[in-house]
Amino acid sequence: MAKRDRRLGVWLYDERIAELKTTGQPYNLSLQYTDAARTRWPLNTPLLSCSLPLGSRWVDARNYFRGLLPEGQQLQQLAATANVTVTDLFGLVSRYGRDVAGAVTLMPGDEEPEDRPGGLVAYDFESLATEVAGLDERPLAIYDDSELSLPGLQNKLLLVREDGRWFRPTGGRPSTHILKVEDRRYPGLVTMEAAAMRLANRVGLTSVSVDVVSFDGVDCIIVERFDREERATGKLERVHQEDVCQALDWNFDAQRGRAKYEAHGGPSLKAAANLLDMHCDDPRQQLKRLVAAVTFSTVIGNADAHAKNLSVLHTSPGRIELAPLYDLVPTALWDKLPDRAAMHINSQRKLSLVRMDDIVSEAAGWNLDRTEAEQTVRNTVGAMLENLNELPEEFARLVDLRARKLLTV
- The residues that are catalytic are 304
Cα 227 from Cα 230, distance rounded (Å): 10
* C-alpha 127 chain-centroid distance: 28
Question: What is the three-class DSSP state of 356?
Answer: helix
CA-CA-CA-CA torsion for 377, 383, 385, 387, nearest 10 degrees? -150
| Burial class of residue 215 (count of CB atoms within 10 Å of its CB; 0-12, 13-18, 19+) | middle
C-beta separation of 171 from 118 below 8 A:
yes
Question: What is the three-class DSSP state of 222?
Answer: strand
Per-residue buried b or exposed e for 365-386, using 16+ beta carbons within 10 Å of the residue's own CB: ebebeeebbbebbebbbebbee
Question: What is the three-class DSSP state of 263?
Answer: helix
C-beta separation of 261 from 254 below 8 A:
no
Contacts of 18 (CB under 8 A, 6+ apart): 9, 10, 31, 32, 33, 34, 37, 48
In 3D space, the residue among 141, 135, 142 whose CA is nearest the CA of residue 182 turns out to be 135
Per-residue buried b or exposed e for 247-271, using 16+ beta carbons within 10 Å of the residue's own CB: bbbbebbeeeeebbbbbeebbbbeb
Cα 93 from Cα 304, distance rounded (Å): 26
Contacts of 303 (CB under 8 A, 6+ apart): 331, 332, 337, 338, 339, 340, 341, 342, 351
